[in-house]
Amino acid sequence: MGGGSAPQGEPLDTLVVGLFAAAGPSIPAPPALSALLGADLDTWMQQRHFKAKPGECLTVHRPGETPTTLILVGLGDEAAYGLINLQEAAAAAARAAADNRATSVGLAIPPGPLTPAEAARAIAQAVRLSLYEDQRFKSEPKPGRQPERVALIGLPADADAGLATMDATCAGVELARQLVAAPPNVATPQHLADTAAAIAREHGLSLQVLERADCEALGMGAYLGVAQGSDLPPKFIHLTYRPEAGASRRVVLVGKGLTFDSGGYNLKTAGSQIEMMKYDMGGSAAVLGAARAIAQLKPADVEVHVIVASCENMISGGAVHPGDILTASNGRTIEINNTDAEGRLTLADALVYASRLEPDAIVDLATLTGACVIALGEEMAGLWSNHDGLAAALLEAGEASGESLWRMPLRPSYKKGLKSGVADLKNTGPRPGGSITAALFLQDFVSGDLPWAHLDIAGTVWTEKGRSLDPSGATGFGVRTLVAWVCHGAPLGAT
Ligand code: BES
Ligand code: MN
Ligand code: ZN
Protein backbone atom coordinates (compact mmCIF):
# COMPACT_ATOMS: atom_id res chain seq x y z
CA MET A 1 0.00 0.00 0.00
CA GLY A 2 1.43 3.36 -0.86
CA GLY A 3 0.00 6.85 -0.59
CA GLY A 4 1.65 9.86 -2.12
CA SER A 5 0.73 11.85 -5.15
CA ALA A 6 2.01 9.36 -7.70
CA PRO A 7 1.98 5.56 -7.72
CA GLN A 8 5.43 4.05 -7.48
CA GLY A 9 7.01 1.13 -9.27
CA GLU A 10 5.27 -0.81 -12.01
CA PRO A 11 2.42 0.94 -13.81
CA LEU A 12 -1.03 0.21 -12.45
CA ASP A 13 -3.40 -1.89 -14.53
CA THR A 14 -6.51 -0.24 -13.09
CA LEU A 15 -7.23 3.37 -12.26
CA VAL A 16 -10.25 4.36 -10.19
CA VAL A 17 -11.42 7.96 -10.34
CA GLY A 18 -14.14 9.29 -8.07
CA LEU A 19 -16.54 11.88 -9.49
CA PHE A 20 -19.16 14.01 -7.79
CA ALA A 21 -22.69 14.21 -9.14
CA ALA A 22 -23.48 17.48 -10.93
CA ALA A 23 -26.66 19.51 -11.05
CA GLY A 24 -26.68 19.75 -14.86
CA PRO A 25 -27.62 17.08 -17.38
CA SER A 26 -24.11 15.61 -17.46
CA ILE A 27 -21.01 15.22 -15.31
CA PRO A 28 -18.06 17.21 -16.67
CA ALA A 29 -14.99 14.99 -16.96
CA PRO A 30 -11.87 16.38 -15.28
CA PRO A 31 -9.81 17.82 -18.18
CA ALA A 32 -6.60 16.19 -16.87
CA LEU A 33 -8.29 12.81 -17.07
CA SER A 34 -9.57 13.34 -20.59
CA ALA A 35 -6.08 14.44 -21.60
CA LEU A 36 -4.49 11.39 -19.98
CA LEU A 37 -6.85 9.05 -21.73
CA GLY A 38 -6.97 10.89 -25.01
CA ALA A 39 -10.62 9.94 -25.11
CA ASP A 40 -13.90 11.77 -25.03
CA LEU A 41 -14.96 10.87 -21.51
CA ASP A 42 -17.94 13.20 -21.55
CA THR A 43 -19.50 11.26 -24.40
CA TRP A 44 -18.79 7.99 -22.61
CA MET A 45 -20.53 9.15 -19.48
CA GLN A 46 -23.52 10.52 -21.38
CA GLN A 47 -23.95 7.42 -23.50
CA ARG A 48 -23.85 5.15 -20.47
CA HIS A 49 -26.13 7.44 -18.41
CA PHE A 50 -23.52 7.75 -15.67
CA LYS A 51 -24.97 9.95 -12.91
CA ALA A 52 -22.21 9.58 -10.29
CA LYS A 53 -24.65 8.29 -7.69
CA PRO A 54 -22.79 7.00 -4.61
CA GLY A 55 -21.05 3.76 -5.60
CA GLU A 56 -22.24 3.81 -9.23
CA CYS A 57 -19.44 2.47 -11.46
CA LEU A 58 -18.60 2.95 -15.12
CA THR A 59 -15.82 0.71 -16.40
CA VAL A 60 -13.88 1.74 -19.50
CA HIS A 61 -11.72 -0.98 -21.09
CA ARG A 62 -8.59 0.17 -22.91
CA PRO A 63 -6.86 -2.90 -24.33
CA GLY A 64 -3.16 -2.44 -24.94
CA GLU A 65 -3.01 0.85 -23.00
CA THR A 66 -1.94 1.85 -19.51
CA PRO A 67 -3.94 1.74 -17.37
CA THR A 68 -5.86 -1.05 -19.09
CA THR A 69 -8.99 -0.35 -17.10
CA LEU A 70 -10.47 2.94 -15.98
CA ILE A 71 -13.26 2.81 -13.43
CA LEU A 72 -15.27 5.95 -12.82
CA VAL A 73 -17.04 5.76 -9.50
CA GLY A 74 -19.79 8.05 -8.26
CA LEU A 75 -19.34 9.97 -5.02
CA GLY A 76 -22.86 11.43 -4.92
CA ASP A 77 -23.52 15.08 -4.11
CA GLU A 78 -20.47 16.94 -2.96
CA ALA A 79 -22.44 18.68 -0.21
CA ALA A 80 -23.43 15.32 1.35
CA TYR A 81 -20.01 13.69 0.87
CA GLY A 82 -18.39 12.09 3.91
CA LEU A 83 -17.15 8.78 5.28
CA ILE A 84 -20.23 6.78 4.25
CA ASN A 85 -20.15 7.76 0.57
CA LEU A 86 -16.39 7.54 0.43
CA GLN A 87 -16.47 3.97 1.74
CA GLU A 88 -19.36 3.04 -0.52
CA ALA A 89 -17.46 4.37 -3.55
CA ALA A 90 -14.16 2.70 -2.64
CA ALA A 91 -15.92 -0.63 -1.98
CA ALA A 92 -17.93 -0.53 -5.21
CA ALA A 93 -14.87 0.38 -7.27
CA ALA A 94 -12.84 -2.37 -5.59
CA ARG A 95 -15.55 -4.90 -6.48
CA ALA A 96 -15.64 -3.67 -10.08
CA ALA A 97 -11.84 -3.91 -10.27
CA ALA A 98 -11.84 -7.42 -8.81
CA ASP A 99 -14.59 -8.53 -11.24
CA ASN A 100 -12.13 -7.42 -13.90
CA ARG A 101 -9.29 -9.41 -12.27
CA ALA A 102 -7.25 -6.29 -11.54
CA THR A 103 -3.91 -6.97 -9.86
CA SER A 104 -2.75 -3.39 -9.23
CA VAL A 105 -5.23 -0.63 -8.52
CA GLY A 106 -4.77 3.09 -8.06
CA LEU A 107 -7.61 4.96 -6.40
CA ALA A 108 -8.12 8.70 -6.78
CA ILE A 109 -10.91 9.32 -4.29
CA PRO A 110 -11.00 12.71 -2.57
CA PRO A 111 -10.94 12.91 1.25
CA GLY A 112 -13.79 15.44 1.43
CA PRO A 113 -14.24 16.52 5.07
CA LEU A 114 -11.94 13.74 6.36
CA THR A 115 -8.27 14.28 7.09
CA PRO A 116 -5.98 12.65 4.52
CA ALA A 117 -4.98 10.03 7.10
CA GLU A 118 -8.63 9.20 7.87
CA ALA A 119 -9.46 9.02 4.17
CA ALA A 120 -6.47 6.77 3.46
CA ARG A 121 -7.53 4.44 6.25
CA ALA A 122 -11.17 4.38 5.14
CA ILE A 123 -10.35 3.72 1.47
CA ALA A 124 -7.82 0.98 2.25
CA GLN A 125 -10.23 -0.61 4.74
CA ALA A 126 -13.09 -0.52 2.24
CA VAL A 127 -10.98 -2.23 -0.43
CA ARG A 128 -9.80 -4.97 1.91
CA LEU A 129 -13.10 -5.64 3.68
CA SER A 130 -15.31 -5.49 0.59
CA LEU A 131 -13.14 -8.05 -1.24
CA TYR A 132 -12.98 -10.39 1.74
CA GLU A 133 -14.00 -13.92 0.86
CA ASP A 134 -14.43 -16.97 3.06
CA GLN A 135 -13.54 -20.20 1.29
CA ARG A 136 -12.72 -22.27 4.37
CA PHE A 137 -15.57 -24.67 3.87
CA LYS A 138 -15.26 -25.16 0.11
CA SER A 139 -13.56 -28.34 -1.06
CA GLU A 140 -12.08 -26.46 -4.02
CA PRO A 141 -11.34 -22.89 -2.95
CA LYS A 142 -11.11 -20.27 -5.68
CA PRO A 143 -8.22 -17.78 -5.74
CA GLY A 144 -8.79 -14.67 -3.63
CA ARG A 145 -9.96 -11.35 -5.08
CA GLN A 146 -7.59 -8.97 -3.29
CA PRO A 147 -5.36 -6.99 -5.68
CA GLU A 148 -1.63 -7.43 -5.18
CA ARG A 149 -1.04 -3.71 -4.98
CA VAL A 150 -3.23 -0.76 -3.99
CA ALA A 151 -2.07 2.83 -4.39
CA LEU A 152 -3.88 5.89 -3.06
CA ILE A 153 -3.56 8.73 -5.52
CA GLY A 154 -3.85 12.41 -4.76
CA LEU A 155 -3.46 12.17 -0.99
CA PRO A 156 -0.39 13.68 0.65
CA ALA A 157 2.36 11.16 1.42
CA ASP A 158 1.83 11.46 5.17
CA ALA A 159 -1.67 10.04 4.69
CA ASP A 160 0.01 6.66 5.08
CA ALA A 161 0.00 7.31 8.82
CA GLY A 162 -3.67 6.37 8.74
CA LEU A 163 -2.85 2.91 7.50
CA ALA A 164 -1.21 1.76 10.72
CA THR A 165 -4.52 1.09 12.44
CA MET A 166 -6.08 -0.25 9.27
CA ASP A 167 -4.41 -3.65 9.28
CA ALA A 168 -5.20 -4.42 12.91
CA THR A 169 -8.84 -3.35 12.60
CA CYS A 170 -9.39 -5.30 9.38
CA ALA A 171 -7.82 -8.41 10.90
CA GLY A 172 -10.24 -8.03 13.83
CA VAL A 173 -13.24 -7.66 11.52
CA GLU A 174 -12.10 -10.67 9.49
CA LEU A 175 -11.74 -12.78 12.62
CA ALA A 176 -15.25 -11.80 13.71
CA ARG A 177 -16.65 -12.61 10.25
CA GLN A 178 -14.95 -16.01 10.29
CA LEU A 179 -16.30 -16.86 13.73
CA VAL A 180 -19.85 -15.84 12.80
CA ALA A 181 -19.80 -17.60 9.42
CA ALA A 182 -18.42 -20.85 10.83
CA PRO A 183 -21.19 -23.43 11.25
CA PRO A 184 -22.36 -24.43 14.73
CA ASN A 185 -20.61 -27.79 14.50
CA VAL A 186 -17.31 -25.91 14.17
CA ALA A 187 -17.79 -22.69 16.15
CA THR A 188 -18.58 -24.37 19.47
CA PRO A 189 -17.97 -22.90 22.95
CA GLN A 190 -14.65 -24.80 22.95
CA HIS A 191 -13.76 -23.18 19.61
CA LEU A 192 -14.43 -19.71 21.04
CA ALA A 193 -12.21 -20.54 24.01
CA ASP A 194 -9.50 -21.84 21.65
CA THR A 195 -9.75 -18.63 19.62
CA ALA A 196 -9.35 -16.55 22.77
CA ALA A 197 -6.34 -18.70 23.70
CA ALA A 198 -4.76 -18.08 20.29
CA ILE A 199 -5.23 -14.31 20.66
CA ALA A 200 -3.76 -14.46 24.16
CA ARG A 201 -0.77 -16.49 23.00
CA GLU A 202 -0.01 -14.46 19.88
CA HIS A 203 -0.44 -11.03 21.44
CA GLY A 204 0.51 -11.53 25.06
CA LEU A 205 -2.91 -11.15 26.71
CA SER A 206 -3.94 -13.09 29.78
CA LEU A 207 -6.78 -15.60 29.60
CA GLN A 208 -8.92 -17.37 32.12
CA VAL A 209 -11.52 -19.92 31.02
CA LEU A 210 -14.03 -20.89 33.70
CA GLU A 211 -15.40 -24.42 33.36
CA ARG A 212 -18.88 -25.49 34.40
CA ALA A 213 -17.73 -26.32 37.94
CA ASP A 214 -16.07 -22.90 38.31
CA CYS A 215 -19.27 -21.19 37.20
CA GLU A 216 -21.29 -23.34 39.63
CA ALA A 217 -19.01 -22.23 42.43
CA LEU A 218 -19.74 -18.62 41.48
CA GLY A 219 -23.47 -19.33 41.48
CA MET A 220 -24.03 -18.55 37.80
CA GLY A 221 -27.39 -20.28 37.70
CA ALA A 222 -28.85 -18.21 34.86
CA TYR A 223 -25.99 -18.92 32.46
CA LEU A 224 -25.71 -22.58 33.48
CA GLY A 225 -29.47 -23.02 33.12
CA VAL A 226 -29.20 -22.16 29.45
CA ALA A 227 -26.16 -24.40 28.99
CA GLN A 228 -27.67 -27.44 30.71
CA GLY A 229 -29.59 -28.74 27.70
CA SER A 230 -26.50 -29.05 25.53
CA ASP A 231 -24.06 -31.92 25.19
CA LEU A 232 -21.26 -29.38 24.81
CA PRO A 233 -19.70 -27.99 27.99
CA PRO A 234 -20.07 -24.23 28.55
CA LYS A 235 -16.93 -22.07 28.45
CA PHE A 236 -16.86 -18.77 30.33
CA ILE A 237 -14.06 -16.78 28.67
CA HIS A 238 -12.21 -13.88 30.30
CA LEU A 239 -9.45 -12.32 28.21
CA THR A 240 -7.47 -9.32 29.49
CA TYR A 241 -5.31 -6.69 27.81
CA ARG A 242 -3.08 -4.71 30.18
CA PRO A 243 -0.72 -2.04 28.84
CA GLU A 244 2.85 -2.50 30.12
CA ALA A 245 2.96 0.96 31.66
CA GLY A 246 -0.26 0.38 33.59
CA ALA A 247 -3.63 2.04 33.12
CA SER A 248 -5.82 4.54 34.91
CA ARG A 249 -8.98 3.33 33.15
CA ARG A 250 -10.61 -0.07 32.85
CA VAL A 251 -13.35 -1.12 30.42
CA VAL A 252 -15.17 -4.42 29.99
CA LEU A 253 -16.52 -5.71 26.68
CA VAL A 254 -19.12 -8.46 27.03
CA GLY A 255 -20.33 -10.51 24.05
CA LYS A 256 -23.31 -12.86 23.77
CA GLY A 257 -21.85 -16.21 22.78
CA LEU A 258 -24.67 -18.60 21.92
CA THR A 259 -22.98 -20.86 19.39
CA PHE A 260 -26.42 -22.17 18.48
CA ASP A 261 -29.87 -21.04 19.61
CA SER A 262 -32.55 -23.63 18.93
CA GLY A 263 -34.93 -21.75 21.21
CA GLY A 264 -34.93 -24.61 23.70
CA TYR A 265 -38.39 -26.00 24.61
CA ASN A 266 -39.82 -22.80 23.16
CA LEU A 267 -38.39 -24.22 19.97
CA LYS A 268 -37.90 -21.86 17.07
CA THR A 269 -40.46 -22.60 14.36
CA ALA A 270 -40.57 -22.13 10.60
CA GLY A 271 -39.77 -18.55 9.64
CA SER A 272 -37.81 -17.85 12.80
CA GLN A 273 -34.52 -18.52 11.00
CA ILE A 274 -33.45 -21.41 13.21
CA GLU A 275 -30.97 -22.44 10.51
CA MET A 276 -29.23 -19.07 10.88
CA MET A 277 -28.79 -19.26 14.64
CA LYS A 278 -25.10 -20.00 14.27
CA TYR A 279 -24.79 -16.21 14.22
CA ASP A 280 -26.14 -15.93 17.75
CA MET A 281 -22.52 -15.65 18.88
CA GLY A 282 -22.04 -12.43 16.85
CA GLY A 283 -21.53 -10.39 20.03
CA SER A 284 -18.73 -12.68 21.17
CA ALA A 285 -17.19 -12.58 17.69
CA ALA A 286 -17.20 -8.77 17.82
CA VAL A 287 -15.53 -8.58 21.23
CA LEU A 288 -12.94 -11.24 20.31
CA GLY A 289 -12.24 -9.46 17.00
CA ALA A 290 -11.88 -6.19 18.91
CA ALA A 291 -9.57 -7.90 21.41
CA ARG A 292 -7.36 -9.06 18.57
CA ALA A 293 -7.18 -5.56 17.10
CA ILE A 294 -6.64 -3.89 20.48
CA ALA A 295 -3.88 -6.37 21.32
CA GLN A 296 -2.09 -5.38 18.12
CA LEU A 297 -2.69 -1.63 18.49
CA LYS A 298 -1.70 -1.59 22.17
CA PRO A 299 -3.55 1.55 23.31
CA ALA A 300 -1.99 3.24 26.34
CA ASP A 301 -3.61 3.83 29.70
CA VAL A 302 -6.60 1.55 29.27
CA GLU A 303 -7.11 -1.99 30.56
CA VAL A 304 -9.57 -4.01 28.48
CA HIS A 305 -11.43 -7.07 29.69
CA VAL A 306 -13.33 -9.25 27.23
CA ILE A 307 -15.96 -11.59 28.61
CA VAL A 308 -18.01 -14.26 26.87
CA ALA A 309 -20.34 -16.67 28.67
CA SER A 310 -20.57 -19.12 25.78
CA CYS A 311 -22.82 -22.14 25.41
CA GLU A 312 -25.59 -23.58 23.23
CA ASN A 313 -29.35 -23.37 23.76
CA MET A 314 -30.57 -26.90 23.07
CA ILE A 315 -33.25 -29.41 23.95
CA SER A 316 -32.78 -32.56 26.00
CA GLY A 317 -34.20 -34.35 29.04
CA GLY A 318 -31.94 -32.14 31.12
CA ALA A 319 -32.78 -28.85 29.46
CA VAL A 320 -34.41 -26.02 31.36
CA HIS A 321 -38.24 -26.25 31.40
CA PRO A 322 -40.42 -23.27 30.57
CA GLY A 323 -41.49 -22.27 34.07
CA ASP A 324 -38.23 -23.14 35.83
CA ILE A 325 -36.83 -20.61 38.28
CA LEU A 326 -33.09 -19.95 38.09
CA THR A 327 -30.88 -17.98 40.48
CA ALA A 328 -28.23 -15.68 39.01
CA SER A 329 -24.85 -15.02 40.63
CA ASN A 330 -26.10 -11.82 42.29
CA GLY A 331 -28.87 -13.78 43.98
CA ARG A 332 -31.71 -12.57 41.75
CA THR A 333 -34.28 -15.24 40.93
CA ILE A 334 -35.63 -15.48 37.39
CA GLU A 335 -38.77 -17.23 36.19
CA ILE A 336 -38.11 -18.67 32.73
CA ASN A 337 -41.35 -17.96 30.90
CA ASN A 338 -39.64 -18.43 27.54
CA THR A 339 -36.55 -20.55 26.98
CA ASP A 340 -35.87 -18.69 23.73
CA ALA A 341 -34.98 -15.53 25.67
CA GLU A 342 -31.72 -17.22 26.61
CA GLY A 343 -29.15 -14.59 25.62
CA ARG A 344 -30.14 -12.29 28.47
CA LEU A 345 -29.76 -15.15 30.94
CA THR A 346 -26.17 -15.80 29.88
CA LEU A 347 -25.48 -12.05 29.86
CA ALA A 348 -26.97 -11.65 33.34
CA ASP A 349 -24.18 -13.67 34.94
CA ALA A 350 -21.58 -12.16 32.59
CA LEU A 351 -22.68 -8.63 33.65
CA VAL A 352 -22.54 -9.50 37.35
CA TYR A 353 -19.01 -10.83 36.80
CA ALA A 354 -18.09 -7.71 34.75
CA SER A 355 -19.44 -5.40 37.47
CA ARG A 356 -17.24 -7.09 40.06
CA LEU A 357 -14.17 -6.01 38.07
CA GLU A 358 -15.16 -2.45 39.08
CA PRO A 359 -14.59 -0.98 35.61
CA ASP A 360 -15.19 2.57 34.43
CA ALA A 361 -17.59 1.25 31.81
CA ILE A 362 -19.17 -1.96 30.52
CA VAL A 363 -20.33 -2.39 26.93
CA ASP A 364 -22.20 -5.52 25.88
CA LEU A 365 -22.94 -6.63 22.33
CA ALA A 366 -25.63 -9.21 21.63
CA THR A 367 -27.84 -10.61 18.90
CA LEU A 368 -30.51 -10.23 21.53
CA THR A 369 -33.93 -9.69 19.98
CA GLY A 370 -35.89 -10.06 16.77
CA ALA A 371 -37.77 -6.98 18.03
CA CYS A 372 -34.68 -4.85 17.46
CA VAL A 373 -34.54 -6.04 13.85
CA ILE A 374 -38.18 -5.04 13.43
CA ALA A 375 -37.50 -1.62 14.96
CA LEU A 376 -34.26 -0.67 13.19
CA GLY A 377 -33.76 -3.04 10.26
CA GLU A 378 -30.39 -4.35 9.22
CA GLU A 379 -28.28 -1.23 8.92
CA MET A 380 -28.38 0.09 12.47
CA ALA A 381 -27.73 -1.52 15.81
CA GLY A 382 -29.79 -0.45 18.83
CA LEU A 383 -27.93 1.29 21.64
CA TRP A 384 -29.20 1.45 25.21
CA SER A 385 -27.28 3.09 28.01
CA ASN A 386 -27.69 4.38 31.55
CA HIS A 387 -24.98 7.02 30.91
CA ASP A 388 -25.25 9.88 28.40
CA GLY A 389 -21.50 10.40 28.08
CA LEU A 390 -20.90 6.74 27.32
CA ALA A 391 -23.77 6.69 24.83
CA ALA A 392 -22.40 9.79 23.08
CA ALA A 393 -18.88 8.33 22.95
CA LEU A 394 -20.18 5.12 21.38
CA LEU A 395 -22.34 6.97 18.85
CA GLU A 396 -19.29 8.99 17.89
CA ALA A 397 -17.09 5.90 17.61
CA GLY A 398 -19.72 4.31 15.37
CA GLU A 399 -19.93 7.41 13.22
CA ALA A 400 -16.14 7.63 12.89
CA SER A 401 -15.86 4.01 11.84
CA GLY A 402 -18.82 3.73 9.47
CA GLU A 403 -21.04 1.58 11.70
CA SER A 404 -24.46 2.99 12.53
CA LEU A 405 -25.94 2.95 16.01
CA TRP A 406 -29.27 4.37 17.09
CA ARG A 407 -29.97 5.20 20.72
CA MET A 408 -33.10 3.59 22.14
CA PRO A 409 -34.92 4.29 25.40
CA LEU A 410 -34.27 2.50 28.69
CA ARG A 411 -37.71 3.49 29.90
CA PRO A 412 -38.06 2.38 33.54
CA SER A 413 -41.85 1.97 33.43
CA TYR A 414 -41.50 -0.82 30.85
CA LYS A 415 -39.83 -2.91 33.54
CA LYS A 416 -43.36 -3.73 34.75
CA GLY A 417 -43.53 -6.13 31.83
CA LEU A 418 -40.94 -8.31 33.56
CA LYS A 419 -42.86 -8.70 36.86
CA SER A 420 -43.15 -12.28 38.04
CA GLY A 421 -45.66 -13.61 40.56
CA VAL A 422 -43.22 -16.19 41.91
CA ALA A 423 -39.65 -14.95 41.29
CA ASP A 424 -37.88 -11.57 41.32
CA LEU A 425 -38.49 -11.18 37.58
CA LYS A 426 -39.42 -13.08 34.43
CA ASN A 427 -37.03 -13.34 31.51
CA THR A 428 -39.58 -12.20 28.91
CA GLY A 429 -42.00 -9.29 28.72
CA PRO A 430 -44.79 -8.55 26.22
CA ARG A 431 -44.02 -8.50 22.49
CA PRO A 432 -44.40 -4.73 22.02
CA GLY A 433 -41.14 -3.03 22.98
CA GLY A 434 -39.41 -6.41 23.21
CA SER A 435 -35.93 -5.03 22.62
CA ILE A 436 -36.47 -2.45 25.39
CA THR A 437 -37.58 -4.93 28.05
CA ALA A 438 -34.60 -7.09 27.05
CA ALA A 439 -32.27 -4.15 27.73
CA LEU A 440 -34.04 -3.41 31.03
CA PHE A 441 -33.60 -7.05 32.01
CA LEU A 442 -29.84 -6.74 31.42
CA GLN A 443 -29.64 -3.51 33.40
CA ASP A 444 -30.91 -5.41 36.43
CA PHE A 445 -27.58 -7.27 36.55
CA VAL A 446 -25.29 -4.25 36.23
CA SER A 447 -24.14 -3.00 39.58
CA GLY A 448 -25.70 0.32 40.66
CA ASP A 449 -24.98 3.28 38.41
CA LEU A 450 -21.90 1.80 36.78
CA PRO A 451 -21.79 3.24 33.24
CA TRP A 452 -23.09 0.53 30.94
CA ALA A 453 -24.22 0.31 27.34
CA HIS A 454 -25.92 -2.48 25.43
CA LEU A 455 -25.77 -2.88 21.65
CA ASP A 456 -28.41 -5.14 20.09
CA ILE A 457 -26.75 -6.32 16.87
CA ALA A 458 -29.37 -8.89 15.84
CA GLY A 459 -30.05 -7.04 12.57
CA THR A 460 -26.52 -5.99 11.68
CA VAL A 461 -24.56 -9.20 12.31
CA TRP A 462 -25.42 -10.72 8.93
CA THR A 463 -26.35 -9.47 5.46
CA GLU A 464 -27.95 -11.64 2.81
CA LYS A 465 -27.28 -9.28 -0.09
CA GLY A 466 -24.16 -7.48 1.05
CA ARG A 467 -24.00 -3.74 1.74
CA SER A 468 -21.30 -1.06 1.47
CA LEU A 469 -18.07 -2.74 2.56
CA ASP A 470 -19.73 -5.94 3.74
CA PRO A 471 -19.92 -8.78 1.23
CA SER A 472 -22.92 -11.09 1.73
CA GLY A 473 -22.74 -13.12 4.94
CA ALA A 474 -21.18 -12.26 8.27
CA THR A 475 -20.40 -8.55 8.68
CA GLY A 476 -18.13 -8.50 11.73
CA PHE A 477 -20.32 -5.62 12.97
CA GLY A 478 -19.16 -3.97 16.18
CA VAL A 479 -15.41 -4.49 15.87
CA ARG A 480 -14.74 -1.13 14.25
CA THR A 481 -16.88 0.77 16.74
CA LEU A 482 -15.25 -0.95 19.71
CA VAL A 483 -11.72 -0.38 18.40
CA ALA A 484 -12.50 3.30 17.78
CA TRP A 485 -14.09 3.64 21.22
CA VAL A 486 -11.25 1.93 23.11
CA CYS A 487 -8.28 3.24 21.10
CA HIS A 488 -9.29 6.71 19.99
CA GLY A 489 -12.06 8.09 22.14
CA ALA A 490 -12.66 9.28 25.67
CA PRO A 491 -14.63 6.26 26.96
CA LEU A 492 -17.18 8.30 28.90
CA GLY A 493 -17.44 11.19 26.46
CA ALA A 494 -15.86 14.63 26.40
CA THR A 495 -16.41 15.55 30.04
N1 BES B 1 -31.08 -14.97 19.21
C2 BES B 1 -32.42 -14.55 19.32
C3 BES B 1 -32.66 -13.16 18.71
C4 BES B 1 -32.58 -13.07 17.23
C5 BES B 1 -33.70 -13.27 16.47
C6 BES B 1 -31.41 -12.70 16.62
C7 BES B 1 -33.63 -13.13 15.11
C8 BES B 1 -31.34 -12.55 15.26
C9 BES B 1 -32.46 -12.76 14.50
C10 BES B 1 -32.85 -14.49 20.77
O11 BES B 1 -32.26 -15.41 21.61
C12 BES B 1 -34.32 -14.74 20.79
O13 BES B 1 -34.70 -15.81 20.46
N14 BES B 1 -35.08 -13.73 21.18
C15 BES B 1 -36.47 -13.84 21.21
C16 BES B 1 -36.96 -13.20 22.49
C17 BES B 1 -38.39 -13.45 22.79
C18 BES B 1 -38.60 -14.91 23.15
C19 BES B 1 -38.81 -12.57 23.92
C20 BES B 1 -37.06 -13.11 20.01
O21 BES B 1 -36.51 -12.07 19.64
O22 BES B 1 -38.00 -13.62 19.43
MN1 MN C 1 -33.34 -17.26 21.59
ZN1 ZN D 1 -30.41 -16.11 21.03
CATH numbers and ranges of domains, the chain? 14-150 (3.40.220.10), 167-488 (3.40.630.10)
Q: Closest ligand 1 atom, CA of 277?
A: 1
Pocket test for ligand 1, best of 268, 272, 338, 369 (most atoms within 8 A of CB): 369
Residues annotated as catalytic are: 268, 344
Sequence letter at residue 194 = D
**What's CA 449's distance to the chain center, in Å?**
27
CA of 342 from ligand 2 middle (Å) equals 5
Apex CA 386: angle with CA 380 and CA 389, to 5°? 80
Mutate to test the pocket of ligand 1, among 269, 340, 347, 464 (most ligand atoms within 8 A of CB): 340
Q: Which atom of ligand 1 is nearest to the CA of 429?
A: 19
CB-count exposure of residue 212 (10 Å: 0-12, 13-18, 19+): middle
Cα 382 to ligand 3 centre (Å): 16
Q: Looking at ligand 1, which residue's alpha carbon is closest to its atom 22?
A: 370
- The mean pLDDT values, 10 residues at a time, for the chain of 495 residues are 50 94 76 72 85 95 92 96 97 97 96 95 97 97 94 88 87 98 98 98 98 98 98 98 96 98 97 96 99 97 98 98 98 98 99 98 98 98 98 97 97 98 98 98 97 98 95 98 92 77
HEC profile of 250-303: EEEEEEEEEEEECCCCCCCCCCCCHHHHHHHHHHHHHHHHHHHHHHHHCCCEEE
Atom 5, ligand 1: residue with shortest CA distance? 370
Cα of 263 vs centre of ligand 1, distance in Å, is: 8
Looking at the CA of residue 313, tell me the nearest atom of ligand 1.
11
* Residue 412 CA, ligand 2 centroid: distance in Å: 23
Distance CA 422, CA 334 (A): 9
The pLDDT, as a whole number, for residue 164 is 75
Ligand 1, atom nearest to 266 Cα? 18
Spatial separation of the C-alpha atoms in residues 239 and 287, rounded to whole Å: 10
Q: Is the dihedral of CA 229, 233, 236, 239 positive or negative?
A: negative
* Buried residues in 311-330 as b, exposed as e (16+ CB within 10 A): bbbbbeeebbeeebbbbbbb
- For residue 495, the model assigns a pLDDT of 53
* Helix and strand counts by DSSP (H, E) for the chain: 14, 18
H or E segment and range at residue 436: helix 434-443
- Quick one: which of 153, 148, 143, 60 has its CA closest to 104? 148
136: phi > 0 → left, psi -120 to 50 → alpha, else beta; which? Answer: alpha
Contact 219, 329 (CB under 8 A): yes
d(CA 440, ligand 1 centre) in Å: 15
Q: What spacing in Å lies between the alpha carbon of 416 and ligand 2's midpoint?
A: 21
pLDDT of residue 99: 96
Please identify, by atom number, the ligand 1 atom nearest to the C-alpha of residue 372. Answer: 21
Nearest alpha carbon to residue 125 among 293, 7, 283, 291: 293
Residue 18 CA to ligand 1 center (angstroms) comes to 41
Ligand 1: residue whose CA is nearest its atom 16: 341
Residue 324: what pLDDT? 98
User: What is the 368 CA–ligand 1 centroid distance (Å)?
Assistant: 6
For the CA of 368, the closest atom of ligand 1 is: 3
Around ligand 1, the residues with Cβ closer than 6 Å are 261, 273, 280, 338, 340-343, 367-371, 373, 428, 434, 458
Rounded CA-CA distance 11/185 in Å is 46
Q: Which amino acid is at 233?
A: P
Nearest to 166 by CA among 491, 401, 486, 470: 401
Predicted pLDDT of residue 392: 97
CA distance 312 to 449: 31
Q: Quick one: pLDDT at residue 4?
A: 41
Gap between the Cα atoms of 404 and 397, Å rounded: 9
Answer positive or negative: Cα dihedral of 223, 380, 282, 214.
Answer: negative
Say how far apart CA 353 and CA 84 lie, in whole Å. 37
Closest-CA residue, ligand 1 atom 7, reads 370
How far is residue 98's CA from residue 155's CA, in Å, rounded to a whole number? 23
- Closest ligand to C-alpha of residue 262 is 2
Atom 13 of ligand 1, residue of closest alpha carbon:
340
Ligand lying closest to the C-alpha of residue 460: 1
Residue bearing the CA closest to ligand 1, atom 3: 369
